[in-house]
Amino acid sequence: MRRAAVTLLAVLLLAVVVVVGGYPVFVDPRADTPRPADAIFVVGGDAPEGRYLHGLELAHRGYAPTLVLSNPAGQVDEFCDEQGRDFTVECFTPDPPSTQGEARELGRLAAERGWQAVIVVTYTPHVSRARYLMERCFAGDLLMAEVPVQLSVPYWGWMYIYQGAGFAKALVQRGC
């Protein structure tokens, strides 16, 4: 009985440490206030609609002349045809179809086009990991714009696991 109580207490303590330690990484990450940049770069994912719409809004507000949309699963083809009066829209399929592939494409495009500042749009639980990966591939001024999300408690739990595993994978990878 005593061993079960100690184990339960250890599990609860570990859960509290993970939740509290993950809060500034997943729930309240450091995001930047958008300001003029060379491009707006929107990363894809399972439910990207809010991200793409936010990227379009930033482009329509004149933050950058180029809007780049990651299209890993072909889910945003309708956005790829969007053109603004003062900006162009480009879509690409990342290789690999992940944040790592998106970061590599950002680095390639920035080097090719001389971009010095880029706004990267993603959703709240992904901001910290996306920043980490993008900074490895892009040496310029990286502005992370978050799309706030309303997630259920179980989904936040999933985000802690998913984004935490993604961070672990990123930490062991070398280079861009």
| pLDDT tens, residue by residue, 106-127 | 999 999 999 999 999 998 899 9
How many domains in the chain?
1
Give pLDDT, residue 80.
Answer: 75
Q: How much is the pLDDT for 64?
A: 97
Residue 153 class from Cβ within 10 Å (0-12 exposed, 13-18 middle, 19+ buried)? exposed
Per-residue confidence (pLDDT) for residue 9, from 0 to 100: 52
Work out the end-to-end distance of the chain between its first and last CA atoms, rounded to an integer number of angstroms. 51
- Name the band, by pLDDT with cuts 50, 70 and 90, for residue 14: low
Query: pLDDT grade, residue 7 (50/70/90)?
Result: low
C-alpha to C-alpha distance for 174 and 91, rounded to whole angstroms: 27
Show the CA angle centred on residue 77, arms to residues 71 and 80, nearest 5°.
Answer: 85
Mean pLDDT, range 145-159, rounded to an integer:
85
Spatial distance between the Cα atoms of 172 and 166, rounded to a whole number of angstroms: 10
The pLDDT, as a whole number, for residue 94 is 93
Strands 117-123 and 141-147: parallel
Q: What is the C-alpha to C-alpha distance for residues 137 and 125, in angstroms, rounded to an integer?
A: 20
Residue 57: domain span = 3-172
**Mean pLDDT across the stretch 54-58?**
92
Q: Does 130 score more than 70 pLDDT? A: yes
> Where does the pLDDT of residue 32 fall: very low under 50, low under 70, confident under 90, or very high at 90 and above?
very high
CATH number at residue 91: 3.40.50
